[in-house]
Copies of this chain bind each other. A is one copy, B any other.
């Protein structure tokens, strides 16, 4: 399984995951390989949460292919299959492709408007990349 929906009304990891899933991924991405208990302990700092709840969700994340489970003696250790950077890289690439595929020229227009508003420096970056590409040919 994989991520197959990008939520437009959320932000950050919540765009790809449910709220609990997102918190779990956040923890695993900002720490070492962990057991369920460890993750639960972290989550419990904010508010009480049942061990089994965490386990179920973590196992679902394994099913989805975003976490890897490894048996270490009697406990299972979990870690993301991709680094956060890789994940964002993959997702943004996929989304960008999808967007172009779906909307083509329409997106090119919005791109610049959005780019300008968001961060004019990105416009520079864009232009330089275009120049670089042209030289290649």
Chain A, 9-65, CB within 8 A of any chain B CB: 9-12, 15
Q: Which B residues are CB-close (under 8 A) to A6?
A: 5-6, 8, 95, 98
| Chain A contact patch, size range | 35 or more
CB distance from A102 to the nearest CB of B (A): 6
**Complex: chain B residue closest to A127, CB-CB:** B130
Contacting pair A4 B7 (CB below 8 A): yes
The verdict on A107 contacting B102 (CB below 8 Å), with A4-B9, A112-B129, A123-B130 known, is no
| Bound CA span A98–B91, Å | 13
CB distance from A15 to the nearest CB of B (A): 6
Interface residue ranges, A against B (CB under 8 Å): 2-12, 15, 88-89, 91-116, 118-119, 122-123, 125-127, 129-130, 133
